[in-house]
Structure 1
Amino acid sequence: MLKFFRLQNMAFICLILAGILLASPALAQEKNYRVGYIEGGSYWLFSDSLQAVKDSLQARGWLEKIDFPGDAHYSPGWDRDELLEQEARELMQRDDLDLVLAAGTDATRAILAANNHETPIVAMAVSDPVDSGFVQSTQDSGVDNFTVRLDPERYPRMFDIFHQIVEFDRLGVIYPDTESGRQFTNLGAARRIAAERGFELLEYDRITTESVQDCLEGIRHLLDKGMDAFFIPSLLAFDWESSDVDKILSFLREQGIPTFARNGSRDVEAGALMGFSTVDFSRRGNFLSQMIIDILEGKKPRSLNMVDRGAPKISFNIQVANEIGFNPPFELLAATDELYREISLPEDRLVE
């Protein structure tokens, strides 16, 4: 009889525990993580990178565990530095976020300035985290709650390969004379490779509005100085969705100027001579999503590997070469990964 009552009591206790578990979503389901997001303004590289991260999280079975709340998604718009700084502070003051994603140089600088040294921060699509001073070195971010994806040799390789192929004497670069402006043109890498390879770097630092007319004025100034090649930076004037980029590329071709597009394939297909093939977003998404998963599982951001080296792939446009009178070496054509035989403008471009 005693044994019977003990069995009854055990069954009753099990029923109570089962009821508690069923009634408690926090216990019955896996934890939902909350991730904030901040960018300086709308830009294709940021949106494509974020989507690649989400796609990779989905493939790994993690996206359903993560919420990207709308009230923690900030994109104040370009040239609104005070608002960007304010929104960065708001994100860092919240206690309901498990991680914050920062996209781009401006947003990363703002979020680090507002850092609470508790909420994990992952930065992506940053021009050069080392030259920007965001990280201590390629091996150490220097900040316990911060990490970033970086490819330390990508931008120096651009200038190096461009000079190997075109053998120009005077490379022109334009940029706003600000921290971010110098990064968008990779000025540090350009100066370093110019010194190593022995070409002259012609600089125009009076870009203010980043408009098409502003940049054309800078390019004309550099032509007067003897520029015989041009590096296309990541300024708003070269963003097809917000500027009539064709006006600049057509002008450069009319002047017979070889160009290297920092943003890659899209610009090359649309009228630049060459560049690296467009970012492999699936690779980038996988690298960043693994960072996020590692952090949410308990690893410190500072302990993670930040270096994601990718072999450069060349993009080249034959029609542009013909228009500017450049005869590409056979070795270049054989090594090119993306070869465009004509100029094709993006369908979603802005036409002024």
Structure 2
Amino acid sequence: MRRNVPFLLLMALPLGGCQGWQSALDAHGPAASSLARMFWIFVAVLVTVWALTMIALLLSLRRRRPADADPLATDPRTERRMTITVSVAIGLTLLTVISLTGLSYAAQKVLFAYKDGTLTLLVTGRQWWWQITYEHSESNRVFTTANEIHIPVGEPVLIKLESSDVIHSFWIPSLTGKMDAITGRQNQIQIQADRPGIYRGQCAEYCGLQHAHMGLLVIAESKEDFERWREHQTASAIPPQDEERQRGMEIFLSKPCVMCHQIRGTDAGGKVAPDLTHVGSRRTIGAGTLETTRGNIAAWIVDPHGVKPGVNMPTIQLEPDEVQPLASYLEGLK
């Protein structure tokens, strides 16, 4: 299990034409704020130590011995002064290490001091995307989505972390520290957003060829907006009304897509790839690789390995006139 220590001075990266920035120092939650404060205190202490070391070095370089002085001769007063100086330096070093250790421990307590909340998510790391299941005591309120987490502002959300293959690491820099997702074990971490916004996250443990393209978004919104979003997500996909999208649905259901993907309300019941019931409402596809547009969906369908080399999605054989109806159908699954 990886402990949560911020190690980047600043990381602020745009997400492929989509909103969402990540910075460990742009804290918008209690855990992230604790880590950011610890980071700046560490920086201040280390800069102070470095400055004092440089000053001592410069002062020592300025001292000159007489040309005829015996290099082996000792001065009792100088030796006594140096002994005191070194002793004080050792004492200050020990005090600094103990203080920083205590500060780190205090930050960890904040990070793992879970508050009572009403929302629990099961997040499963897969090569190379995130499966998110919203748990609920009523089975008809449970649903699964991918690579995009919606949470209500100001409420703690418990994240249960698992992995289906290799070790992944769940990290939302602006909201919390890191936690590993390990096969055969469940770890937990809590996130909370103090203000509305879109917060980018990623896998922070090298997990294979497309590790760098295993992103996710956390959308923090008002309680009312979140409840409306959740209510919509629990519903099955709305059957298409226009002719093009109806043909697109027929193409989807006649292809191997149904073996891996699920679209609730249809015969597609696959469980090994992202649930596509409301894929058109997500901001990205391919775990943050592309913005969700009809053109990008078509490009992904035709050549997923050209977009994300090594991805587990196979290339589907389609006729030229089947691509646009299929992309239109998927883009319309709002």
Interval of TM-score (by shorter of Structure 1 and Structure 2): under 0.3
User: TM-score, with normalisation over the residues of structure 2?
Assistant: 0.24
Greater helix fraction, Structure 1 or Structure 2: 1
User: TM-score, with normalisation over the residues of structure 1?
Assistant: 0.23
Structure with larger Rg: 2
